[in-house]
Structure 1
């Protein structure tokens, strides 16, 4: 500034501003009586302090992969000449802040200009922190005097970005409510910004950030964490109890630490004692707290629940009645009673739900307990009962549809559904896909069967077991089949439903027969025969002839079996079931082949094939062709054998029936061996062995027989 004479005035001044309303001047001013020459104002920049605000770091266990992923994102940013933004999300208590702190504390030398920390209070009773206040705090930490902190949010952000533009800072924004809350706090330049949140902050990924979602710890890491928390040798001395404990904690670090702290306070208490206390589901969450302390698993989950929108909160509660650990979006809609896609997304974003596959979701074990407890406390009893019935109907309808696809010839008894609304799943339009659906949902279907009687819908127990029958036979799920039919039979007896009892006895007897319980199966078939006779059901009684014949055949009584099969072949068509008569002829062929009469076997199998083909029973027609292949091979007619085995194999592969496919593959292996093609024979025997093991276990008789054929080929 000059006075027109070329003189100068030197002075220091800070920021100067004038209030447009009252004309007052704010900031530093220079007063001079006379000015000579130019006036130069030298504005002092705020002193740049070096803040070290990060809270202390706790020991981290079992997070090597996660830490490596974070470090890789940082290195990528450095190579690109930019800073790094990382968003760490996960269920409350999973250790998001602990992982972030452990990583960031190890980078102090890499970021010498300081560390900033803010708790954004996403779930604070007072509400999330105001970004403007957070920026003001950061400015003060960076050396800006309180009176120089700009008044408007935009000015604060601008100054913050100016001050951080060239600095290598670490910034930890803890417990963020949304991407919008933290977007203005990222700064610029080479800084490393880490955001933790219970929500998945997809918006930060759009901004160029890296997302890391933390899952609960694996069992071994959780045991190590329990040992580190106790630090007294009890975990090493009682390893089995330690593993059981962390399984009950479902790998959630907060739960493991709380249980460890409670045990540490009682040095004479055994781990098994705590395990027994946690074993009761209704008490588990209550045990996972420290009185008078804020380390409380239930309270942590309460915080996440309270942040849910209304429909998502209701879905969360109603998922507490879902009988199994995993479910599809359609099952969630059944629980809610309306389309659930939006609420499901909210639960996923809140990390109260985990995706475990395409359209497959899972509640963490402790979250499931919390959802169930919350439902019991906040949902009227009739609402919970209605939700459970809708879920039950969802699985019953799916299993029934799958049964129709897999075995359209199987007589489906009537189904009893609730008032709806209905949300039937899509199970596929071909047998293999439908069987895969049954396999995938088997845990849920078994849970439906076990829970049907206690929940007041016993019909669902036997009807679901009935619908699962094709799976039990074709995929050889013996133990599940036994359990399902035993529960279904109990329900049918309680209901006094004779038709249901007979179905459970005959279908369950076939499962028992395949599982090796031949005498038990015979007793079940004979009981069904008595019930059919008692109600005058001639057709039902005739069907038991086939079943009893199978039991006698497995018991090593082929003559008795052949007699019963012969009667069935005559009585069933006369009683109106031509197809079942064809199955009796197929069983007669099997007996004849086993007795060394391939010509007789051929005659019966060809008759069976004609009947089954006319009945549209492609699966059993393929079984007849497999048997014909074996019979023609025994008769020294390999070309005829190949014709039937090839056709059978193509159909059985489509059906998804591993055991029967293995029988056909084994037949092609025997055919190759008969023709002297040793290497193709070995290849096909190995395939057959794999299928037998898949369908019946490594110790199944057929698997051992194929192993013997392979050994013989290797020795020759």
Structure 2
């Protein structure tokens, strides 16, 4: 209090959270900490169950295996194998759905695509999806498979959940996706996954249904008394289906659509078809194919054509808008007809919206029918309609995520097509929803990119790759980033579109920097730079100065990096790009700090911060403030250093930028060391290391430095008056755009 000569300022007892100890206080005090993490609901991703018949023994076996594993304190792993159409997924779903009351941690599902047109799914992609489903923010998903798996195992160690890995190709594909703790994992595959026995797995091979069970399934499908009235004919029919549930259901669906037809007619027709396909049998699938041919022949004309055209779809699943793009206004009735005939599976429950897929045998049959009944020109036109549909909607999503980013016009322009639902958020379509749509459709988009050049449409490959740009750095999809840009570059070169070539080079090279391929990235930037210069594109060339500087900086060539950044800091504003010019000033400050030219670092960082704030770039402005703070620590201006670093930390917390927040915490730790507060420094270093680990960067140079400095500090009593250094829980890996422009 003012006017008193002595003031007591004692604190005793146990204190949690922030503490302010002060003598005289004027004005308001505002103390803020990290916002509590929003509780993420458990994921419930399993597709709906379907009716199964006569699988009691198999389900009992699976459950007995689970109980034995639980008694031993182990996780449960079961591999269910069998012919296509034998009901592997149905059995696994029946088992796992029944476990829901005992496994409140959620359900994870992934189709591993052993039979997919584009080949098996990369396990790194799947574990990334699992991490996001378990509540890991997109920015915190680690970049490498090993780091993703480590985080996945950590998150599942104390969580009771079930996982279904459907249609696996190999045991090696499955192993990175196995959770830790006392979770339950079911794997389905056409192969007997004996290799998983080494991981404690129980291998269960499904045989086709007994005749009695198949008749029961047929009766349940018809539900009209015909099976009871014609028992011998029903037995003959299911024998022709070889006891495969898929074949029985397809045959039953055809009969259900003809309530006046006797089973005898179906037996006769299927017998004839069965003989025709016997020579073409592969692993017993002739029984399904015979049923498919009969069901196909009974489809309405429009439904049959949609069936054929959807057989050409390059990905495993698709939304209703794709059917509309192929068939127009008749698509709704045609989809219903395919669904009623058991030829199309509705999977809306797993991802929202109207979404469908074929069983792999059905897809092969539809594609074969397309090859027989559609001309080469008609098939090519259908593929182009699919490609243009995806391109138009991907460009829409890109505009939502990065509004105003210029996109070169493909030649020819994509058809307007049918608008996909990109995810309404609060009545409007938001960036996160658009990103979710892009990631959900990514297998289809990648399939189109791979097919584009062979089918004579290179503009689809580079156009889709360019429009996909915002997805790759934000969701850390490095494998697809690399593959799409390699194919996109070849396509742009084939099309002779030099502007597209430069975009593929620059955005592809940014991916190289993100994955540590700095020399290769630099070569790509230099090629783009030469092209921009030759075409008289001053802005494009100026941007590559900044990019090339980043590559040289990461290669340790500081002098060359500084030269390029200086040229970019002058050239970019002259071309009208003030924000990119400010980022070049930031990069100059970063080099100066690395060379311990602290005054130069402060001057350039402060100039960058002011320009970035004016441009509305709060994230990079906060990074610039943090850089100023680090330089002030080097200069011994400790009061200003604390002010700059504290402001930067608060702003980066708000942005959820954990990697950069960890940088700032490291600087605050060094500031504490300068002030003779080793215990405070230890807390800051510990928090920084936690954020580096959460961001998947625990082995970065910055994390190694923090770890070394922490190890060098002797534990000590808390210094008088030293506040506790609580860091935010949010974390996110380094933005690929750090110090660079947002895209090519």
Q: TM-score band, normalised by the shorter chain?
A: 0.5 to 0.7
Aligned-pair distance for 1:426?
1.2
The residue number in structure 1 matching 2:464 is 464
1:396 correspondence with 2:387: no
Residues 456-490 of structure 1, C-alpha deviation per residue, up to 9 Å, x if partnerless? 21111112111222333333333322221121111
1:639 correspondence with 2:643: yes
Residues 92-137 of structure 1, C-alpha deviation per residue, up to 9 Å, x if partnerless? x999x977759979xxxxxxxxxx9696598xxxxx89x5665556
Comparing 523-532 and 342-351, the one that deviates more: 342-351
SS of 2:473's partner is helix
Q: Distance in 1 between matches of 2:478 and 2:96?
A: 48
Q: Distance in 2 between matches of 1:120 and 1:136?
A: 11
Aligned-pair distance for 1:497?
1.3
The residue number in structure 2 matching 1:664 is 661
CA contact (8 A) 1:318 1:384 kept: yes
For 1:215-226, list aligned pairs within 5 A.
none
Q: 1:516 to 1:100 in 2, by over 3 A?
A: same
1:413 correspondence with 2:404: no
Aligned-pair distance for 1:559?
1.0
Aligned-pair distance for 1:385?
2.8
The residue number in structure 2 matching 1:365 is 360
Q: 1:521 to 1:358 in 2, by over 3 A?
A: same
CA contact (8 A) 2:592 2:600 kept: yes
Q: Distance in 2 between matches of 1:688 and 1:384?
A: 50
Aligned-pair distance for 1:366?
3.0
Aligned-pair distance for 1:435?
3.2
Aligned-pair distance for 1:508?
1.5
CA-based RMSD of the aligned residues comes to 4.9
CA contact (8 A) 2:630 2:645 kept: yes
The residue number in structure 1 matching 2:538 is 538
The residue number in structure 2 matching 1:589 is 589
The residue number in structure 1 matching 2:282 is 288
CA contact (8 A) 2:663 2:702 kept: no
CA contact (8 A) 2:219 2:225 kept: no
CA contact (8 A) 2:311 2:370 kept: yes
The residue number in structure 2 matching 1:492 is 492
Aligned-pair distance for 1:569?
0.8
Q: 1:70 to 1:473 in 2, by over 3 A?
A: closer
Give the one of 303, 323, 345 matched to 1:353: 345
CA contact (8 A) 2:218 2:252 kept: no
CA contact (8 A) 2:532 2:538 kept: yes
CA contact (8 A) 1:117 1:173 kept: no
The residue number in structure 1 matching 2:418 is 422
Q: Distance in 2 between matches of 1:296 and 1:554?
A: 60
SS of 2:470's partner is helix
Aligned-pair distance for 1:560?
0.8
Q: 1:531 to 1:382 in 2, by over 3 A?
A: same
For 1:257-336, list aligned pairs within 5 A.
286-288=280-282, 295-306=286-297, 308-336=299-327
Q: Distance in 2 between matches of 1:502 and 1:284?
A: 54
Higher relative contact order by CA 8 Å / sep ≥ 6: 1 or 2?
Answer: 2
The residue number in structure 2 matching 1:454 is 454
SS of 1:480's partner is helix
Pick the structure with greater CA Rg: 1
TM-score, length-normalised on structure 1?
Answer: 0.57
Aligned-pair distance for 1:563?
0.7
Q: Distance in 2 between matches of 1:339 and 1:608?
A: 57
Give structure 1 stretches of 5+ with no counterpart: 1-54, 75-90, 106-115, 123-127, 141-170, 176-194, 205-257, 259-282, 654-659
1:385 correspondence with 2:389: no
CA contact (8 A) 1:582 1:609 kept: yes
CA contact (8 A) 1:629 1:643 kept: no
Aligned-pair distance for 1:324?
2.0
CA contact (8 A) 1:317 1:371 kept: yes
Q: 1:132 to 1:367 in 2, by over 3 A?
A: closer
The residue number in structure 2 matching 1:375 is 370
The residue number in structure 2 matching 1:507 is 507
Q: 1:451 to 1:632 in 2, by over 3 A?
A: farther
SS of 2:459's partner is helix
Q: Distance in 2 between matches of 1:102 and 1:708?
A: 70
The residue number in structure 1 matching 2:42 is none
1:521 correspondence with 2:516: no
SS of 1:444's partner is helix
Q: Distance in 2 between matches of 1:309 and 1:626?
A: 67
Q: Distance in 2 between matches of 1:490 and 1:458?
A: 8
Aligned-pair distance for 1:570?
0.7
Q: Distance in 1 between matches of 2:278 and 2:703?
A: 44
Comparing 304-313 and 487-496, the one that deviates more: 304-313
CA contact (8 A) 2:311 2:367 kept: yes
Q: 1:371 to 1:68 in 2, by over 3 A?
A: closer
Q: Distance in 1 between matches of 2:504 and 2:97?
A: 58
Residues 42-68 of structure 1, C-alpha deviation per residue, up to 9 Å, x if partnerless? xxxxxxxxxxxxx99999699846779
